[in-house]
Amino acid sequence: MSFIATLFLSFFILVTHQAQALGTSGLLTADKAFSISAKAISAEKIEVSWAIADGYYLYQSKTKIISQTEEVQIGKLNMPAGKPKHDDFFGDMVIYTNQLNVSAPITNKSALSSVKLLIKYQGCSESGICYPPQQKTLTLNIPQPKTSTSSDSINQLLNGFSHLKNNIFQDELLPGDQAFQLFASIKDANTLHVNWVIADGYYLYKEKTKLSLLNSASTQLGTITLPQGTPYHDESFGQVHIFHNELSFDVPLNRTDKRSHSISLLVKYQGCADRGVCYPPMEKTIELLLPETLTLNKPSTAPKEKLSEQDQIFQSLQHDSFGLTLLSFFGFGLLLAFTPCIFPMIPILSGIIVGQGENVTTRKAFLLSLSYVIASALTYTVFGILAALFGSNLQIIFQEPWVIAVFSGIFILLSFSMFGFYNLELPKTFQAKLHNSSDSHRDGSYIGAAIMGALSSLIVGPCVAAPLAGALVYIGQTGDVILGGSALFMMGFAMGTPLLLLGASAGSLLPKAGHWLNSTKAVFGVIMLAVSVWMLDRILPASITMLLTASLLIIPAIYLRAIDPLPENISGWPKLWKGFGLMLLVYGVLLLIGLSMGNTNPLQPLQGIGSINTSSEQKHGLTFKRVASLAELDEVLEKASKDNQWVMLDFYADWCISCKEMEAYTFTDEKVKQKLSDFVLIQADVTKNSADDKALLERFNLIGPPAIIFFGSDKQERKASRVIGYQNSDTFLSNLNSL
């Protein structure tokens, strides 16, 4: 097993080289390399700016600004000229260095006071290392348009002279109200939103920002949490935190008077110009009208907004206590432990335990299982956090055909060692060094089990379910890797609970020595070959997989003496094994017959013969139209809207176990097919993880499949009905009925 540990460790380092490149010494984080800010210049125009660090650059074509507020639309982006650059990966590109300011017109249909923006961008270091695509969500306050009057015209004229004066005397400071534009609005009945738009070359102090209510006994401010800010050493105030470009946060309210009434918000703040000149402390009083809140005596008639399971989990991460969150995710992990993603890990771990031979004990079997599970949970956590922070599912790297082929080959090598063809072990010199550096209970097999657990979590079962998606969205939007990572670890550890039970029992259930042990090792050798075939099914044609499955049945049947005559006066056990071997042999032959007829489903090898054809027709699933890009998707949505049809978009990948499970069990249900008969059914195959595949996933903030999204005839997604992970036909049908 020490040899296998060394082999796996080298393999793991090789395939993770791409992800580790971002950890190069001296490389800035994406937020520091590309510092982003945004502001509303007017009621009809916004501006997004990036301060780009020296030695870094942004791509023009990778920069996008999307409105996540339905009533506000973003017009064509006004992009600067930029610099031409030939990129080894993207070809001829336009890049920006030092500073990038992008403005865009907006159309505010409902005169809203704020807009939520999704900003996407990507850049690189001039050293040759590129960052994954980045995305940020920012909320901007929109100034309300003013009606033009004669006095406004005079003011505009005066402002023109003032602007001319500023151009002549460039050292003159802006007035405080212009350097720090303060806005306050009602977010809901129990929340205010406060926002400063800070002019270029100016900053606000976090520690000098104070809010209070004047003469309001029935309403008090709750606990206010300001953004972190940038650390700064001030000569007057010492170590402080400052804000450039914008400061925006919510203010909770504690209300005893549920009726609509006015409040006076007193805001105190202080800031400086970068040139070293500071303003005196400023304060403003803003009058706001709070709406009426709902009471038990006056129930609301408005229906409560329905949330998808993913969004419910996201909200629980925001509001539940740390302990309750960890307990909840441990429960989610226990439920996920019985999904098809975990089943292939059982024979893998069993093979590791059996491979220890006659020296395995209950204690050692459990410790092997614990090493396997902890390494799997840690790997699941680390790659989950990286996926959330960088917006790219790094597990997909391990679904490349060559990775799967190499890993399947390793299982074949392990299975042949189980059959006794050879023994996998380190050279004698290394064995001696290993023995001298470890006691009898730590012979390196624990390291091998841990490496196998890490690789298994990446290659064997990369599932995306609602709890995982909710945690990844939370980490990506808040950056809270402590809570999000802890939740992911608890879920991953709970998913391995059945494996721990296997380890606790294997030491006492498995035979210790003799002929039975050799037979047991041979059985697990066959199981490892089955796991290898199961993995190769992702990259090989279905006919080749069916041929390998038939071989996997027929050859062990020969070893079980399925075609050999039994001697007389023999005990019952050989007869039992012969009967089992005959079953394997017959089914393997049926697979070969079905393959010769053109069938590729191992569960229905004789499909198309006689009456079998009638029953098989009823088991056909849904027929999807493939979309391969955002342009194709928009085209389908536009056409469906004109035809007044709903659309269902299914994200699929060949390596996605739950996707195939949905195809086999949920999409073949007659009630589901009937319910979707009037839908336009489209599917995005993201197996290759191409640029278009990534763009499709990014548009809907998805980490990977399985995911199903529904659109109404108005082309808008029904987010509450989004499906993440596997759903059986009854649950899926209930979701369809709620549309």
Residues 495, 414, single domain; the answer is yes
Residues 486 and 489: their CA atoms lie apart, in Å, by: 5
| 193 confidence band (pLDDT: 50, 70, 90) | confident
Residues 214, 328, single domain; the answer is no
Q: Does residue 517 lie in a domain region? A: no
Residues 363, 221, single domain; the answer is no
- Per-residue confidence (pLDDT) for residue 508, from 0 to 100: 56
Q: Where a domain ends, among 83, 116, 140? A: 140
Contact 197, 246 (CB under 8 A): yes
Strands (E), 398-541: none
Task: Identify the residue with better confidence: 354 or 70.
Answer: 70
Contact 234, 208 (CB under 8 A): no
pLDDT in tens, 664-707: 888 888 899 989 988 999 999 988 778 888 888 878 877 778 88
Residues 318, 265, single domain; the answer is no
Average pLDDT over residues 251-270: 86
Q: Does residue 692 lie in a domain region? A: yes
Give percent of the chain above pLDDT 90.
7
pLDDT at 464 over 60: no
Number of domain units in the chain: 4
- Per-residue confidence (pLDDT) for residue 524, from 0 to 100: 65
Contact 720, 306 (CB under 8 A): yes
Residues 368, 490, single domain; the answer is yes
Give helix then strand counts, H and E, for the chain. 24, 27
* Residue 500 parent element (H or E): helix 497-509
Q: What is the CATH number of the domain that holds 102?
A: 2.60.40.1250
pLDDT in tens, 17-60: 444 444 444 678 888 888 888 888 888 889 898 889 888 899 99
Residues 21 and 12: their CA atoms lie apart, in Å, by: 14
Q: Does residue 23 lie in a domain region? A: no
Residues 284, 316, single domain; the answer is no
Residues 50, 192, single domain; the answer is no
Residues 224 and 211: their CA atoms lie apart, in Å, by: 9
Domain that holds residue 376: 312-510
Residues 505, 387, single domain; the answer is yes
- Per-residue confidence (pLDDT) for residue 658, from 0 to 100: 75
Residues 262, 188, single domain; the answer is yes
Task: Identify the residue with better confidence: 254 or 299.
Answer: 254
Which ranges of 320-420 would DSSP assign to H, the alpha helix?
Answer: 322-336, 345-354, 362-390, 401-418
Q: Does residue 361 lie in a domain region? A: yes
Residues 376, 489, single domain; the answer is yes
- Per-residue confidence (pLDDT) for residue 267, from 0 to 100: 93
pLDDT in tens, 262-309: 888 899 999 998 877 888 889 988 888 888 775 434 444 434 445 555
pLDDT in tens, 713-726: 888 888 878 888 77
Task: Identify the residue with better confidence: 670 or 601.
Answer: 670
pLDDT in tens, 135-150: 888 888 887 665 444 4
Q: Where a domain ends, among 510, 532, 564? A: 510
Residues 323, 419, single domain; the answer is yes
pLDDT at 646 over 90: yes
Average pLDDT over residues 310-319: 62
Residues 411 and 455: their CA atoms lie apart, in Å, by: 12
